[in-house]
Every structure is written in structure tokens, then in C-alpha cells.
Amino acid sequence: MTKLHLRSAALAALVVMASCSSNLQDEPARSDTSRDVTARQTNLPTELPPMRAFTMGGVQPVQRSNAAIAADFLDLSFELESGRQLPVLTRFEGPVTIRVTGRAPAVLSGDLNRLVGRLRSEAGIDISRVGPNENASITLEIISKAQLQKLVPNAACFVAPNVSSWMEYKAKRGTPETDWTAIRERSRMAIFIPGDVAPQEMRDCLHEETAQALGPVNDLWRLSDSVFNDDNFHTVLTGFDMLVLRAYYTSELRSGMTKAEVATRLPSLLARLNPNGGGGAPAPVSKTPAAWKQAIETALGGRTPAGARRSAAKRAVEIARAMGWRDTRLAFALFVQGRLNLGVNSDVALASFREAEAIYGTTPGNQLQAAHMGVQLAAHALSMGNAGTAIRIADAHMPSVQRAENAALLATLLMIKAEAMTLEGRVAEAQLVRLDSLGWARYGFGSESDVTERLKEIAAISPRSRG
């Protein structure tokens, strides 16, 4: 399936409540004042430090009941994002191999090795890498962003069945061979990822598309602890995701099973794999209505006029309230509403972020989502000259961001903290924090120009840039 190009929905853009920008695009929102910030104000070193990358994961254990997980498993496994039903469960039967073709950056190889190791140890899948010229169950082909989006404009990356190359996919696109509903067992999958984007964006695609090549091909908005959610907050496979993949490849299940057959086996299967989750049959869930999904998709649509996007976000919030939700769907709608009201209605933006943070903060397992709200609130505190508040907010959210391996968000929080420390006169300490942020920024944002621009945006927020 397709990873939508909604990167900014999860990667909170650097904001200031008085900013003139209200974009919710793929790149961070830019403040016009950032163009006037000098290298002296940003304290930018003449040479950026080496790129930093995560080496140790901090996967959180699953915190929901097995009954709820069973319902999620069925909805993820027997339905496509389009709403079309899948008649049977499909997976690879036997050992799985994965290869990389195309011009892959060196950093991607390390990320793939870590992912394969996790899939083996946490999901129990017999998966290994093979050379680029060997036949493989899964082919990871690196192409350009322009190539990918010329064919699939709204996709950041995607996976396709029964093909092993970009050329083969283009030839078979739209035929029964690439129709997910016609598959009865998986034999070949191809993942297409752009190689000219930030390392973090490549890694995010790698995790979600590999997981879908192996297991579920659907996304559910109601999931708050999974990459199988188009909100894109979680971009590295979570404890829930690994549990689902482990269940996929247990001896109790096999390709060709119907939904009813799988549902019968799930209670005992999950009780064995996740003994702390209890037992029970799949629990009823609150379905997400099409009207809410359409409102969110319109609000996130980059080509839709700004006014129509704000109206759509407001409609999504209203639908969520009418449904009686106090879950992550209301919080995400509030987040989108807040983002779209930056520089247009600061009161609405700030209130939306605060309410979303409160919902995420009181929902188990949603610390990462709360951190995305926190970066907005920290930026606002900095813009108001409340350096201590900005530092407190940034420090509170950094542990969850590090566990989630989100280098871009971590770099942004560190940059805000450094600017706040500078505002307090702690210049030497601030420079050390700033240098730390730049190593993470190189992984999270990619090019030196993007890293520099982000640093300028932070400096533009501070009152000292206006003084």
C-alpha cells in the first residue's frame, strides 16, 4: 500500500503563533523573518558536525487488551485503505529474503540491517538480506522522488505485490497481478522509496512499507501506537506492530484463511504471545465515519485552498465531538486545526494545540503525539520571551522523542532549548545544545541547507531577533 505524503502532519513544522504562514505542506512552514536572521544570530558553526543516527531502540510494550488488538488485527488484515475487502489472509510461507536495488545511500543500509534484526528478534520472522542481483521475496528499489510522484503524486513511497522492479510495476500497474484482492499467498513484493530525501524520511518509508509487504496492508485512524495509521506520528515499528507481525507468522495462521477462521484463532494466539493482554473475542470498535476521513484528507490536501482546508479541519473537529470521541482522532483533528490556523487565528491555534496535548497526554502510549504538540507550545513560549517555559516543555518531551527515534523532532526541540538558553544569557551551554541538535538535524532534515534553514527559523522566533 501507499505511505501518504503527510510528513508534516507528524513532523511538526517550526511555528510561531504570530507567523504569517499557515501551510500544512510536506516541508516545514517558513517564517518570512527567517530570511533576515544572520549566521551570527544562529551561532551556526562553519562546519556542521557529523550526522547522528539511532543505534538502540526503546520500543514500548503494548498497553491495550488482546480483545482490542484482535479487532485491530482483523480490520488491518481484511480490508484495504480504499474500503475494499480482502477475502483471505496472505503472508509469505517460508523464509523471507530482502534485497536493495538502485542507488541506495549508505545510511539506508544501516537502517535496513537494524530493521531486519528487529523483525527477526521481536516478530520472530525468518528474514534475511541477500545481494542486489539475487532473487528475493521483497525488493527494495531506490528511485528518485520525481519518478515516484510522477506516477503516484500523493505518495511518499509504496509497496506493490507480484513485482520485483519499478519497470515491472509500471508494466503491470492496474492489472489483476497487482490487485491485492486477488492474492492468495505472497511470493514477491516490491517497495519503492525515493533516495533523494532526508535519511529519516527514507527510514520511515522503509519501516512502514516493509511491514505492509510482510503483513497488514491497511491503515486505521483509530490506532495511536502504530505505523499503520495515516497520521504518521509513529514512523518506526512499535511494540504493537511487532506483535501483529509476530501473530501473522505463527503456526496457528496461514495464507488462505478467511476472516472468520482467523478470528477464531486470535484469542488463544494473542493470549500466548501477549499474556498481559488477557483474552476474549475481538471487541467491538468505534468505526471512523467516511465524513471524518474526507474532512481530514481535505484539510491535509496541499493543493486545496487554505480557507477550504481550515473549514475541513474545523468540520473534522466538529464530527469528532459529535461522535463523543475523546481519543486520538479528536486530538489529531485539533492538531491539524491548530496548524492551519497559525498566523490566521492565534487563539484557535493555541487552544487547539493545548487541548490536543491534554488528550494525548492522558491517553496511555501517546507521549510521542504529545511531544508534537509540545514543540508548538515550546515555540510559542519562546516567541513570547518565556525562555524557562520553553526549556521546561522541550526537556519534558525529549525522552519520548528519543524512544520513537524521531531525529527531526528531537533536533527541533534541542534548537528551541538552545535559543531559550541563549535568551537567558547561558550562551556557552546553549552552543553545546545547539551543536548536539545539528547532528540529529542532518539525519532528520537531510541537506545542510535544510538544516541551516531550520536553525534560522528557530532564531527568528526569539525576541532577540527582533531586538
For the segment 101-128, the average pLDDT, to the nearest whole number, is: 95
CA–CA dist 300, 6 (Å, integer) = 7
455 or 303, which is more confident: 455
For the segment 209-231, the average pLDDT, to the nearest whole number, is: 91
pLDDT band at 119 (very low <50, low <70, confident <90, very high): very high
pLDDT at 24 over 70: no
pLDDT at 176 over 60: yes
CA–CA dist 434, 189 (Å, integer) = 42
Per-residue model confidence as pLDDT tens digits over 285-301: 777 899 999 999 999 88
Residue 30: per-residue pLDDT: 42
**CATH T-level topology, domain 2-54+288-466:** 1.25.40
pLDDT at 307 over 70: yes
72 or 15, which is more confident: 72
Residue 6: per-residue pLDDT: 45
For the segment 158-181, the average pLDDT, to the nearest whole number, is: 96
Q: What is the 3-state secondary structure (H, E, C) of the chain?
A: CEEECCHHHHCCCCCCCCCCCCCCCCCCCCCHHHHHCCHHHHCCCCCCCCCCCCCCCCCCCCCCCHHHHHHHHHHHHCECCCCCECCCCCCECCCEEEEEEECCCHHHHHHHHHHHHHHHHHCCCCEEECCCCCCCCEEEEEECHHHHHHHCCCEEEEEEECCCCHHHHHHHCCCHHHCHHHCCCECCEEEEEECCCCHHHHHHHHHHHHHHHHCCCCCCCCCCCCCCCCCCCCCCCCHHHHHHHHHHCCCCCCCCCCHHHHHHHHHHHHHHHCHHHCCCCCCCCCCCCHHHHHHHHHHHCCCCCHHHHHHHHHHHHHHHHHCCCCCHHHHHHHHHHHHHCCCCCHHHHHHHHHHHHHHHHCCCCCHHHHHHHHHHHHHHHHHCCCHHHHHHHHHHHHHHHHHCCCHHHHHHHHHHHHHHHHHCCCHHHHHHHHHHHHHHHHHHHCCHHHHHHHHHHHHHHCHHHHC
Per-residue model confidence as pLDDT tens digits over 62-73: 888 999 999 999
Question: Any bridge partners for residue 142, and if so which?
Answer: 102, 193
pLDDT at 28 over 50: no
For the segment 5-11, the average pLDDT, to the nearest whole number, is: 42
Residue 41: per-residue pLDDT: 54
Q: For the chain, which residues make up each domain, given as ranges? A: 2-54+288-466, 66-277
What average pLDDT is seen over the chain?
Answer: 87
pLDDT at 161 over 90: yes
**CATH T-level topology, domain 66-277:** Collagenase (Catalytic Domain) (3.40.390)
Is the C-alpha dihedral spanning 144, 146, 151, 152 positive or negative?
Answer: positive
Per-residue model confidence as pLDDT tens digits over 363-394: 877 889 999 999 999 999 999 999 999 999 99
pLDDT at 15 over 70: no
How far from chain centre, in Å, is Cα 282? 26
pLDDT at 32 over 60: no
Residue 463: per-residue pLDDT: 87
Residue 35: per-residue pLDDT: 41
Residue 464: per-residue pLDDT: 80
β-pairing verdict for 155-161 and 138-143: unpaired
Residue 23: per-residue pLDDT: 32
Question: Is residue 245 within 8 Å of 263, Cβ to Cβ?
Answer: no
How far from chain centre, in Å, is Cα 113? 20
Residue 287: per-residue pLDDT: 79
pLDDT at 343 over 90: no
pLDDT at 258 over 70: yes
20 or 430, which is more confident: 430
Nearest to 95 by CA among 140, 142, 130, 45: 130
